[in-house]
Amino acid sequence: MGERPLVIPDSSVVYSLSSGHPPVATVDPGSQVVFQTQDAFSNQVTPDSPDLSRVRWETVNPATGPLAVRGSEPGDTLVVDILDISVPDRGLMVTLAGFGALAAVLRDSTVRFLPIRDRQILFNDQISLPAEPMVGVIGTAPAGEPIPCGTPGSHGGNLDTRVIGPGARVYLPVFVPGAGLAMGDLHALMGDGEVVICGVEIPGEVTVRVSLARRKRIPSPIIETADSWFFLASAADLDAAVQLSIEQALAFLRDRLPLSLTDLGLLLSIAGHTQISQIVDPLKTARMCVPKRAFASYRLAF
């Protein structure tokens, strides 16, 4: 029997990603770790206390951690395999007055609690949807000023990208020794865009394996799944985020495949997919999806 994975409790949280936060634990590359996470509202909104006016907004989007990975240095890439996500039997959704893509229509702040049974989210008596747990906030410590957990960027952060679920491999840039990995803001289900400002917000446990790709620098997070690569970028303007994600996909392919830039661009135009992760955070996040089948004749690897 192998060693039990390290468990980081949901009492060990930060509200920003920062090189100034001391690590709560240090592990070797190849270690399994369980991150126990609070929900996006720091577990402040419950059926017994549903009043949003009592939420301490400075404590939203808590991330459990940070975790140091021994030997990681700036210029490395931290590799995080999402092995499992477990969530309880109830999540919540909110509308917030003045926020989200439908702010002009949904003008009231509301709370709805949603039961989860047999991996089905019971929206109402007529609608149930399969749960697809995912990690909303995952990132490393930036080299400069602290970045609030609610803001995405090249370090990761509040990416709100629904493909960060079990089976995904997340590649994150390392900016400081130890990397400073933290994560939280789980969703039992979320659509692309997160258009009303939330998914099914929920606490839970994320089991991961952390490893290192030494001296492999990336400009922004990359996600690998069984069938696709995803290149993420965040910017104040969605068009800019889309442009950056496409350029990062092109650069990744250029460095690994014996094809001209013209060929790669043409292939991205017919086989790649521009996708929106979220449009409601301080920066917008887009991703370029590159299906692996498009390059099946090559050994495309990180």
**Does 2 score more than 80 pLDDT?**
no
Q: 207: helix, coil or strand?
A: strand
pLDDT of residue 217: 97
**Does 213 score more than 60 pLDDT?**
yes
**Does 173 score more than 70 pLDDT?**
yes
The widest CA-to-CA distance across the chain, in whole angstroms, is 61
pLDDT of residue 53: 86
Find out whether 279 and 193 touch, Cβ atoms under 8 Å. Answer: yes
Find out whether 52 and 111 touch, Cβ atoms under 8 Å. Answer: yes
pLDDT of residue 1: 55
CATH fold of the domain at 224-295: Endonuclease I-creI (3.10.28)
Give the homologous superfamily in CATH for domain 6-214.
Acetamidase/Formamidase-like domains (2.60.120.580)
Fill in the amino acid letter for 25.
A
pLDDT of residue 3: 76
Average pLDDT estimate for 185-206: 98
- What tens digit of pLDDT does each residue of 79-136 get? 999 999 999 999 999 999 999 999 999 999 999 999 999 999 999 999 999 999 999 9
CB neighbourhood size of 138 (10 A): 30
Question: What is the distance between the alpha carbons of residues 174 and 172, in angstroms, rounded to a whole number?
Answer: 6
Structure-token pair, residue 62: 């808590």
224-295 has the same fold as 6-214 = no
Domain positions in the chain: 6-214, 224-295
- What tens digit of pLDDT does each residue of 239-283 get? 999 999 999 999 999 999 999 999 999 999 999 999 999 999 999
Question: What is the distance between the alpha carbons of residues 60 and 147, in angstroms, rounded to a whole number?
Answer: 13
- What tens digit of pLDDT does each residue of 24-59 get? 999 999 999 999 999 999 999 999 999 998 899 999
Question: What is the distance between the alpha carbons of residues 72 and 198, in angstroms, rounded to a whole number?
Answer: 33
Question: What is the distance between the alpha carbons of residues 240 and 286, in angstroms, rounded to a whole number?
Answer: 9
**Does 67 score more than 60 pLDDT?**
yes
Q: Compute the mean pLDDT over every residue in the chain, rounded to the nearest whole number.
A: 97
CB neighbourhood size of 245 (10 A): 26
Query: Is the pTM of the predicted complex or chain greater than 0.95?
Result: yes
CB neighbourhood size of 46 (10 A): 13
